[in-house]
């Protein structure tokens, strides 16, 4: 599935099972302020990189027309901001998907 991000970057997302999505969602540790509001994610960059490795097949930078396969050599082409944008888009997508039927 191809997803266009707010920055204009496009990513091709792998089809993941419910179990694979849950295994990505489970270890996330959230930071909160004194009022209990979520302010961020602990270890945000390593978390974002883990999600990108697990979920993204290829990406197309905003000002490009060609997709780049995600590999160890191309992963460093993504800036910290790119990684966080991809992670946020994936998190929102995965967290908003309900299961087929409630048990």
pLDDT digits (tens, 9 = 90+) for 33-70: 999 998 888 888 888 999 999 999 999 998 899 999 99
Is 96 contained in some domain? no
d(CA 26, CA 36): 19
Q: Which of 40, 70, 33 is nearest to 55 (CA)?
A: 70
35 lies in which domain range?
2-86
Is 73 contained in some domain? yes
Number of folded domains in the chain? 1
Is 74 contained in some domain? yes
Between helix 80-95 and helix 18-25 the angle, nearest 10°, is 120
pTM recorded for the entire structure = 0.80
d(CA 62, CA 71): 19
pLDDT at 20 > cutoff 70: yes
Is 99 contained in some domain? no
Position 98 scores a pLDDT of 59
């Amino acid at each position: 599935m191809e997803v266009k991000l707010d920055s204009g970057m496009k990513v091709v997302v792998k089809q993941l099972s419910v179990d694979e999505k849950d295994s990505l969602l489970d270890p996330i540790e959230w930071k909160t302020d004194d009022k209990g509001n979520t302010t961020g994610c602990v270890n945000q960059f390593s978390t974002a990189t883990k999600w990108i490795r697990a979920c993204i097949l290829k990406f197309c930078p905003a000002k490009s027309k060609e997709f780049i396969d995600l590999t160890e050599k191309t992963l460093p082409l993504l800036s910290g901001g790119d990684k966080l944008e991809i992670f946020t888009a994936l998190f929102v997508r995965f967290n908003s998907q309900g299961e087929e039927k409630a048990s």
